[in-house]
Amino acid sequence: MAIDILLLLILVIIAIAAIHMKDLLACGVLLGGYSLIMAVLWTNLNAVDVAFTEASVGAGITTVLLIAAISRTKRREDDPSPFRHKVQMSIIVLASTAVFVFALLDAPNFGDPNAPANQHVAPRYIHESSHETGVLNMVTAVLASYRGYDTLGETTVIFTAGMCLVMLLRRKNE
């Protein structure tokens, strides 16, 4: 429990620091650290394959892509926006936060066994996934077998995005 709280505290500190930093390269470096801590959090929740993806994509590939983007653009962030924009943005953010908090008031308690999310298909996964799919890890069974077509679609989206990035970042005169 204390481990979770400390990990989440580190995440919040890194996120705030990354927002306030003007050096975009430093932001990219900090976000790599963010992904590493996030991966530990996933592992602590027993979602090992999600943690794997987070570490390799978040800490590895995303940082490299951010640096590639910085090397094609510029390293410093522009001067801060005028005060009027900040006020407008604050109003929008506070209003949407209020809406989210209002929606959360109706949410079931964390880990409530009678919550709709735990009543619908979760019992079937818990009881049947081991001998229906032969995969011992339940999260992996859901991702790769029950929702295999979803994962295939996600892979297609990520492949398309990667192709677009290659086209954008490629040098013209080669």
C-alpha angle 28-29-35 in degrees, rounded to nearest 5: 85
Cβ at position 105, least distance to other proteins in Å: 32
Nearest residue to 67 via CA among 97, 24, 102: 24
Q: Of the two residues 18 and 115, which places its CB atom closer to other proteins in the complex?
A: 18
Q: Is 76 helix (H, G, I), strand (E, B) or coil?
A: strand
Beta bridge partners of 31: none
Q: How far apart are CA 63 and CA 99, in angstroms?
A: 33
**Contact between residue 9 and residue 39 where contact means Cβ atoms under 8 Å apart:** no
Cβ partners under 8 Å of residue 70, min gap 6: 24, 25, 28
Q: Of the two residues 42 and 146, which places its CB atom closer to other proteins in the complex?
A: 42
Q: Of the two residues 106 and 174, which places its CB atom closer to other proteins in the complex?
A: 174
Cβ at position 116, least distance to other proteins in Å: 28
Cβ at position 100, least distance to other proteins in Å: 27
Q: Contact residues for other proteins (CB under 8 A)?
A: 2-3, 6-7, 10, 13-14, 17, 23, 25-26, 28-30, 32-33, 36-37, 39-40, 43-44, 46, 48, 51-52, 55-56, 59-61, 63-64, 67-68, 70-71, 171
Cβ at position 8, least distance to other proteins in Å: 11
Q: Of the two residues 89 and 164, which places its CB atom closer to other proteins in the complex?
A: 164
